Amino acid sequence: MSERRPQVVVPTIPGLSNLSVLARGGYATIYRAIQDSIGREVAVKVENRTLEGERDQRRFLREARAAGQMSAHPYVVDLHDVGVTADQHPYMIMELCDGSYAERLRAAPLTPSETRDVGTKIADALAVAHDSGVLHRDIKPANLLISRFGEPLLADFGLAVLAETRETSITLEVHTPAYSPPETLRYGSPTSAVDVYGLSATLYAMLSGRPPRLQPDRSPSVLALLELFEEPIPEVPGVSASFIDLLRLGMANDPLARPSAGRLRDLLAELVLERPPGPEAVRASARVPTGGYAQPSAGATEAG
């Protein structure tokens, strides 16, 4: 006899119908729904917790303000509306996307060209956010979505911090260790350098198929995490050294050594993706006679 699963209670949200679960997590449940007024499919994020106290209300308002400020950017998920259900669960109605880069990576890593394109666009979104005093603080493949038109979109400003409402008491609880810099392990006011590290680590994972240091199945202690930051970030086969060096710069242990999001965007846009020489190229160069020259093959470099 099979065990009966508990019935899922679908929330009632004004103006929406046909809600069905897309994803569940410890923080929120995501539903697909129809916006009745215009017949549009949307995504609805309903938080699992309720707004029971003033701190919860402040945090939800901070999230709504941050998402609202950023939703007009072409590479940020569009926010349509926010509210609170009858039983006090906050919700956000957003653009429905085709998936995330975390899902995409389960199939295969991205090419250097694809990764550079994603990085340039998301770095631009971060640069605008930082200029507005908004930090994201949880950049990772799962928070980079893919629009229905194939464009990368930055999602989930739910952990964002507006400059005028920073709460250092929640600094440690909002980060994903595999994509977080060493300063997040210490209490203190976050800076935009946290987002630069997170994006650089995410781009590295897109190229390699795994985070730069932390194993996905490991949950190390704080001390073990700090030791991991002393390990070098390895090369990625098939990816030019210049690309990896740029990402290493974005993941510098010293926050002051990292470029700004705007500078990272520009460096990515200017990056020429030279293909590392393969065995065939090495053997061919060894056969070039003294005083001669080798004709470069088509595709020896990838234009920037």
Instruction: Check whether residue 124 and residue 177 sit in a common domain.
Output: yes
pLDDT score of 227: 78
Instruction: Check whether residue 111 and residue 227 sit in a common domain.
Output: yes
d(CA 227, CA 242) in angstroms, rounded, equals 26
Instruction: Check whether residue 52 and residue 127 sit in a common domain.
Output: no
Give pTM, 2 decimals. Answer: 0.81
Q: Is residue 283 assigned to a domain?
A: no
pLDDT score of 87: 87
Residues 6+ apart with CB under 8 A from 62: 160, 161, 162, 165
Instruction: Check whether residue 164 and residue 232 sit in a common domain.
Output: yes
Q: Is residue 128 assigned to a domain?
A: yes
pLDDT score of 301: 32
d(CA 80, CA 143) in angstroms, rounded, equals 18
Instruction: Check whether residue 155 and residue 180 sit in a common domain.
Output: yes
Q: Is residue 302 assigned to a domain?
A: no
Q: Is residue 298 assigned to a domain?
A: no
Q: Is residue 127 assigned to a domain?
A: yes
Instruction: Check whether residue 60 and residue 190 sit in a common domain.
Output: no
pLDDT score of 256: 96
Q: Is residue 178 assigned to a domain?
A: yes
pLDDT tens, residue order, the chain (304 aa): 455 555 567 899 999 999 999 988 877 899 999 999 999 999 999 988 888 778 877 778 877 887 888 888 999 999 999 988 988 899 999 999 999 999 999 999 999 999 999 999 999 999 999 998 888 988 999 999 999 999 999 998 765 555 444 444 444 444 578 898 998 877 667 899 999 999 999 999 999 999 997 665 556 666 677 778 888 999 999 999 999 999 999 999 999 999 999 999 999 999 998 765 554 443 333 333 333 323 333 333 333 3
pLDDT score of 71: 87
pLDDT score of 220: 61
- Give the total number of structural domains in the chain: 2
Residues noted as catalytic: 137
d(CA 134, CA 137) in angstroms, rounded, equals 9
Instruction: Check whether residue 161 and residue 229 sit in a common domain.
Output: yes
pLDDT score of 163: 47
Domain that holds residue 170: 101-274
Instruction: Check whether residue 40 and residue 83 sit in a common domain.
Output: yes
Q: Is residue 285 assigned to a domain?
A: no
CATH number of the domain residue 68 falls in: 3.30.200.20
Instruction: Check whether residue 197 and residue 51 sit in a common domain.
Output: no
Instruction: Check whether residue 34 and residue 130 sit in a common domain.
Output: no
